[in-house]
Chain A
Amino acid sequence: MLSLKRDKKEEEEGGGNPFYNLEKSAVLQEARTLNDTPIDPRKCGHILTKLLYIINQGENIGQNEATKAFFAMTKLFQSNDPILRRLVYLGIKEMSKIAQDVIIVTSCLMKDMKGKEEFRGPAIRALCSVTDSTMLQSIQRYMDEAIMDKGPAVASAALVSALHLGKGSHEVVKRWVDAANAVATSENPMVEFHALCLLYHVLKNDKIALFKLVSKSRKFRSPYSYCLQIRIAAKLIEREDAGSNSELFDFIESCLRHKSEMVIYEAAQAIVQLKNTTAKDLAPAVSVLQLFCSSPKPTLRFAAVRTLNKVAIKHPAAVTACNLDLENLITDVNRSIATLAITTLLKTGNESSVDRLMKQISSFMSEISDEFKIVVVQGIRSLCSKFPRKHNVLMTFLAQMLRDEGGFDYKKEIVECIISTIEENPEAKEAGLAHLCEFIEDCEHTVLATKILHLLGREGPRTPTPSKYIRFIYNRVILENAAVRAAAVSAIAKFGAHCEDLMESCIVLLERCQLDSDDEVRDRATFYVNVLKQNQKPLSSAYILNGLQVSVVGLERALHQYTLEPTETEFDMKSVPLATQPLAEQKVRDVPGESASVKPSQDKVAASRQDVYQEQLAQVPELANLGTLFKSSRPLEVTESETEYYIQCVKHTFSNYIVFQFDCTNTLNDQLLENVTVDMEPAEGFEVSKSIPCVNLPYNKPGSTYTLVRLPSEPTQVTGTFACTLKFLVKDCDPQTGEPDDEGYDDEYVLEDVEVTVADHVQRVMKPNFAASWEEVGPENELEDTYSLSTMNTLEEAIKNIIQYIGLQPCERSDKVPEGKSSHTLYLAGVFRGGHDALVRAKLALDSSGVTMQLTVRSTDPNVSEVLATAVA
């Protein structure tokens, strides 16, 4: 007892771990002595343990070193010491990924898997870790036997290893289906579960077989089997779009009454995650979760609130029933549970409870980790958009959090929350900007400071008192690092460009910045001073307020190309591909609470999807000379999924051509397709000029064929529908080996029509200051008309359809209609094929007969105005 206590104390001091100070090189050195004969099992065991320890600590061991140690270890097979042998198995498994020639132990392991009972399971696991695809054939029979072995440990080991062997490969795992089927009804719960796992893995693409697997409503021995079954059923329901009236749903629901808590939870969790559920379907699931909320087991309470928290995002009403239980959890000793409870309440609470909740939150904010603080901020973010009238309380709270201690991620979350609130709620704007101004006075994160400065530059000039922000911004120029100073300079320039009365003083400030020690800051200042001094609206709009819209990667490539071929002509900005995704607005307004996992990483200047396509197309010699790729559409399916051939079409627009790229997958394992093309029946005015076949299309290896179509010469004729047929030569082949017959026959397959729309000819461009651009383009080619959109019942619906059809970028958040308004103006911006600016203003009004729209189009080219104006008609 005494010594036990002492051990524990030592452990706390970090002295309890004998491997604490292990050094990789020393361990590897020592591993060489594994070679020594005669073998000393105790000593070798100790060395192996150390080796395993350092590997598991994530130490990187070089291939050579690892191979040496591995071979030394293989010699330990001559000892029959059981402890040592088990360590050897572990060693093999760990090292099989780093050492070479690990296959050397195959025979030894195969002997052990038939040998002493205690070695058999571990030997199987080790064997599968060293087996590569060339050896599968030779171990197949032994694995089959092992799966059907009487010993559950052996059978389980074999089933699990078979799954690991298949790592993703359906073909491999398929070998063991029969054996797994034979033991799926095993007496042993573990074997039963592992057999089901394997079967599921093999069948996961076979809907009908899966259905059978699940609907065979039999009793399982293992609760894990039930959990698996529930997951499969849920997946099937999703895939089939079957609602709650399906047999599968009944099965899941019946599991809510199972005796194992794990199964109950799994079932509840599955139900709340289904897409098409009604409040009635959810009720039983929510009520078991509610019961779990008052369980004495912290894990259950945690699982329950976490799940309720998710439900609250989609179905806040369903969770309100649990509000009382959740409020009790706010004081839970486990802080993670408390935080989740609070944020769930934030989602389900009503306007009147906001103040009380915020008070409760502030009482424990200082006790929780950043990670959970972020969760709280996300909760507040959704409150802000739900109860815009409460912005005062919420903003004050956020500002307080901004002042408190916290790491970068936490601060970033708060800043983003404030920014999104400002954008959504004009009334919160001034207060929000003021908080952010205060924050940058003392902000250690360059990224956040520049982000805020950018926002100030965009929003500040349009507030009633722009001048008050300039002081905050100019302070940054004096006090900060170069990156922040540069951002501040750009912000000041925007005030100068937008507010005439401030221009003089802004120029003075910028002139001071021309003396800055940093190149970038000086360059920017010089540039802005010169532009501002011209005092021309269009110039200021194009170069200060709205900026450059091209793809950075594309610009780099175009400039490089230009320098390669000396010419007299000037560099043409219009030849540069545009940034496909406008950077600012692209951010998915994700649902708070789930945002952490799905944030698109847009911080770096990564090559966009379109840059990748451009590169790909350039590889095809027949398509190399089409010029700059203007736009690539999203891939559209032109076959139904789960048919013989799966085909997607991507439209690539160039200045005079469209390339239709068909990405094809052949899902028949007994066919090889050759010379695959898509025959397109051109719409009027379009002309198919070439098609580039996919030479061969073996089973499950995607390939592409292209059709090149010349656009009509009449500039206003831009849309059309194309009937498509897939044509190819079929060679039947052996499904096992893929060996094709010598002879083939021609065949064809009808695809869905492909449409070319106005949206294919325009590229979205974000104009942060739409009014400035509107003036910049001017009324020269303006067209205006009034339409009545009688099929639309709401403004939102009308806006969605217009954007989808015209394919331009909504600016100034004008795609959001403030609540309760019956009229609204939508601003759209973009560039038309050929590089012409295209701006659209749609004034919408809702009345009893539908939506009326006054559409005004401006462009630098008259034809473009015409195309856009007629697009909606």
Chain B
Amino acid sequence: MGFFDSLAQWLGVRKKEVNVMVLGLDNSGKTTVINHFKPPETKNHDIVPTVGFNVEKFKSKSLAFTAFDMSGQGRYRNLWEQYYKECDGIIFVIDSSDKLRMVVAKDELDLLLQHSELKNRRIPVLFFANKMDVRDAVTSVKCSHLMGLENLSDKPWHICASNALTGEGLHEGVDWLTDQLKEVLERKKK
């Protein structure tokens, strides 16, 4: 059974697969971000608040991503942890125009980083300071400050300002994540 898998690998046909989780408060734009990466024919034009989660697949330049797009609504947040164990990276989406709930986002982030399943793993975290197009959105620098990212030293992280509707900033972020994840994969091989 394993034969085809290894054959494919040997021929180098398949891209390496990675699992990422897309987290953040409700309405921050997680589903919209992922939707942007999907091939045009499968794009969803009618995005509604996620209930539970959704699995989506997309490709970056050298990796195949399986993204668990989780629901950000309060009642589902405690279910995120069910999926931590198998994830290789995290995309954390912040609504940079929602200053009021930035503290809530920070609380959730802290909880997440302290979780026993993630605490001791050096997994890369990509932040999108999303909705940069909204008029009173804060800058990514301000955003990283509000989220207290300067104290996050045991995991590689990166923040990008983004507009999920147009795709601005998204590729830069995912390219960073791809590089990080490939590094991890390389290291694992050795």
Interface residues of A (CB under 8 A from B): 35, 37-38, 40, 42, 71, 74-75, 77-78, 101, 103-108, 110-111, 135, 138
Give Cα A142 to B54, complex, Å: 17
Assess whether B79 is in contact with A108, with CB atoms less than 8 Å apart: no
Complex contacts, A74 vs chain B, CB 8 Å: 53, 82
Assess whether B55 is in contact with A108, with CB atoms less than 8 Å apart: yes
Assess whether A71 is in contact with B82, with CB atoms less than 8 Å apart: yes
Assess whether A77 is in contact with B52, with CB atoms less than 8 Å apart: no
A72's nearest neighbour on chain B, judged by CB, is B82
B58 at the interface (CB under 8 A from A): no
Give Cα A42 to B5, complex, Å: 14
B86 at the interface (CB under 8 A from A): yes
B184 at the interface (CB under 8 A from A): no
B48's nearest neighbour on chain A, judged by CB, is A138
Complex contacts, B76 vs chain A, CB 8 Å: 104
Complex contacts, A42 vs chain B, CB 8 Å: 1
B180 at the interface (CB under 8 A from A): no
Assess whether B71 is in contact with A107, with CB atoms less than 8 Å apart: yes
Complex contacts, B52 vs chain A, CB 8 Å: 103-108
- A75 and B86 in contact (CB under 8 A), knowing A107-B50, A107-B53, A108-B55? yes
| B residues 49-70 touching A (CB-CB < 8 Å) | 50-55, 57, 66, 68
- A101 and B79 in contact (CB under 8 A), knowing A75-B86, A78-B66, A107-B71? yes
Complex contacts, A78 vs chain B, CB 8 Å: 19, 55, 57, 66, 68
Complex contacts, A108 vs chain B, CB 8 Å: 52-55
B17 at the interface (CB under 8 A from A): yes
Give the residue among A78, A105, A110 with the most B Cβ atoms within 10 A.
Answer: A78
Complex contacts, B5 vs chain A, CB 8 Å: 38
Q: Of A35, A40, A75, A110, which contacts B51 at CB under 8 A?
A: A110
Give Cα A67 to B51, complex, Å: 18
A-B complex: 3 closest residue pairs judged by Cβ atoms: A104-B52, A106-B51, A71-B82
Interface size on B, residues (CB 8 A): 21
Q: Of A37, A77, A101, A103, which contacts B55 at CB under 8 A?
A: A77
Give Cα A32 to B79, complex, Å: 17
Assess whether B83 is in contact with A103, with CB atoms less than 8 Å apart: no
Assess whether B51 is in contact with A103, with CB atoms less than 8 Å apart: yes
Assess whether A135 is in contact with B51, with CB atoms less than 8 Å apart: yes
Give Cα A103 to B82, complex, Å: 14
Give Cα A137 to B17, complex, Å: 37
For residue A120, give the distance in angstroms from its CB to the closest CB of chain B: 16
Give Cα A78 to B51, complex, Å: 17
Complex contacts, A38 vs chain B, CB 8 Å: 5, 17
- A35 and B55 in contact (CB under 8 A), knowing A104-B79, A107-B50? no
Complex contacts, A71 vs chain B, CB 8 Å: 82
Assess whether A104 is in contact with B53, with CB atoms less than 8 Å apart: yes
B189 at the interface (CB under 8 A from A): no
B85 at the interface (CB under 8 A from A): yes
B69's nearest neighbour on chain A, judged by CB, is A107
Interface residues of B (CB under 8 A from A): 1, 5, 17, 19, 48, 50-55, 57, 66, 68, 71, 76, 79, 82-83, 85-86
Q: How would you classify the secondary structure of chain B's contact residues: helix, strand, loop or mixed?
A: mixed
Complex contacts, A104 vs chain B, CB 8 Å: 52-53, 76, 79, 82
Assess whether A111 is in contact with B54, with CB atoms less than 8 Å apart: yes
| 24 A-B residue pairs with CB within 8 Å | A35-B85, A37-B19, A38-B5, A40-B1, A71-B82, A74-B53, A74-B82, A75-B83, A75-B86, A78-B57, A78-B66, A78-B68, A103-B51, A103-B52, A104-B52, A104-B76, A104-B79, A104-B82, A107-B53, A108-B52, A108-B54, A108-B55, A138-B48, A138-B51
B57's nearest neighbour on chain A, judged by CB, is A78
Q: Of A37, A105, A111, A135, which contacts B86 at CB under 8 A?
A: A37
Complex contacts, A107 vs chain B, CB 8 Å: 50-54, 71
Complex contacts, A35 vs chain B, CB 8 Å: 85-86
For residue B48, give the distance in angstroms from its CB to the closest CB of chain A: 8
For residue A683, give the distance in angstroms from its CB to the closest CB of chain B: 60
For residue B129, give the distance in angstroms from its CB to the closest CB of chain A: 25
Give Cα A75 to B19, complex, Å: 11
For residue B43, give the distance in angstroms from its CB to the closest CB of chain A: 13
Complex contacts, B19 vs chain A, CB 8 Å: 37, 78
Q: A38-B17, A108-B54 are in contact. List 8 more A-B contacts (CB 8 A).
A: A38-B5, A75-B83, A78-B19, A78-B55, A78-B57, A103-B51, A108-B53, A110-B51
Complex contacts, B83 vs chain A, CB 8 Å: 75
Complex contacts, B68 vs chain A, CB 8 Å: 78
A43's nearest neighbour on chain B, judged by CB, is B1
Give Cα A106 to B54, complex, Å: 9
Complex contacts, A105 vs chain B, CB 8 Å: 52-53
A106's nearest neighbour on chain B, judged by CB, is B51
Give Cα A75 to B85, complex, Å: 11
For residue B150, give the distance in angstroms from its CB to the closest CB of chain A: 33
B82's nearest neighbour on chain A, judged by CB, is A71
Give Cα A101 to B54, complex, Å: 15
B83's nearest neighbour on chain A, judged by CB, is A75
A134's nearest neighbour on chain B, judged by CB, is B75
Give Cα A111 to B44, complex, Å: 10
For residue A768, give the distance in angstroms from its CB to the closest CB of chain B: 64
B87's nearest neighbour on chain A, judged by CB, is A37
For residue B34, give the distance in angstroms from its CB to the closest CB of chain A: 12
Give Cα A645 to B62, complex, Å: 72
Complex contacts, A40 vs chain B, CB 8 Å: 1
